[in-house]
Amino acid sequence: MEYFKTIVDAGSISQGAKLLHMSQPPLSMSIKKLEEELGAQLLIRGNKHISLTEAGKIFYQRSCSILDLADSTTTEVAKAGLQRTFALGLTPSTIPVVSDMLARFSEAYPDVKYRIYDGSTLELSHLLDTNVLDAAFLRTPFSAGSLISVPIIKEPMVAAIPKALLKNTIKLKSEKSISLQELSAFPISTYRRYQALLNETFAAEELTPNIFSVCDDTRTSLLWANNGKAVAVYPQSLKTNTSNDLLLIPINSKKLETTILFVSPTSSNSKNTIVDDFLPFLKSDQT
């Protein structure tokens, strides 16, 4: 797994061999044996670079999780009784909301060290299920299942509207908020996880959103907005650098809201009771 991950991160078998301080032929043979053992091709070998097959993508994600778990286990066992480590997952859109909590917790518990994992809700959910993480901050829509979740803050979605579209399409009744009726006149770009929420919210008012694009990152939606092609729709607390060519206003809909959750497998069995210690700090200045 370490060989495979190193090759993927390096981009080629030759570069992976250099990082591993070994020659290329035995490394290539190790990967070949790995593929034979798994019964699946993991790498597509090019002249200068490698790429991952679908099986390779799955194996890479699992390898990262397993290696992280092995590393964190070694660290925790070696330092048991000396210091505590808080393994915490954050999605990009939750960082602005939780940064103050982490700062206050760090001041109260200076002995605690941190292993921060950035990722999508799906990736962090898997790390919670495999006990790599003590806890994570995730945003709805999200199915907690057997995980314990504590709501932190509920917030509306906002629309970043290109001013060029305002000139060429319709005039808004107010620049303080935009209704779903007004928003339905614009092409919309949004994060993929919010597409179903948008469709359901619009359908409740017998409207249909004009989805121009769905993306895996809000920054991509803002690219379309900055180019004057679509309105970017995303959570209010996700602070972004918007240009003067965009009008940023709240969407007037109680149903078009998301909630940030603090999620953990269980507080009573958490490592060194870190989750229990952190629970009193679960308050956002933005509530």
Identify the pLDDT of residue 209.
92
164 and 136 share a domain? no
Integer Cα distance of 215 and 229 in angstroms:
14
pLDDT at 285 over 60: no
- List, for residues 258-284, the tens digit of each pLDDT value: 888 899 986 444 444 889 899 998 865
270 and 147 share a domain? yes
201 and 162 share a domain? yes
Identify the pLDDT of residue 79.
57
Lowest-confidence range among 113-117, 132-136, 243-247?
243-247
Integer Cα distance of 178 and 207 in angstroms:
14
187 and 101 share a domain? no
220 and 90 share a domain? no
Integer Cα distance of 117 and 129 in angstroms:
14
97 and 57 share a domain? no
Integer Cα distance of 191 and 86 in angstroms:
29
Sign of the dihedral through C-alpha 211, 179, 95, 221: positive
147 and 200 share a domain? no
In a domain, residue 50? The reply is: yes
- List, for residues 163-175, the tens digit of each pLDDT value: 888 776 667 888 8
160 and 245 share a domain? yes
Identify the pLDDT of residue 286.
44
Q: Give kind and range of the element (H or E) at residue 277.
A: helix 274-278
In a domain, residue 87? The reply is: yes
Integer Cα distance of 178 and 24 in angstroms:
59
Integer Cα distance of 53 and 62 in angstroms:
14
Domain ranges, residue 96: 82-153+260-281
- List, for residues 13-46, the tens digit of each pLDDT value: 999 888 888 888 889 999 999 999 999 999 998 8
CATH number, residue 245 = 3.40.190.10
As for how many domains the chain has, the answer is: 3
Instruction: Give pTM, 2 decimals.
Output: 0.62
Lookup result for tokens 């890479």: 60
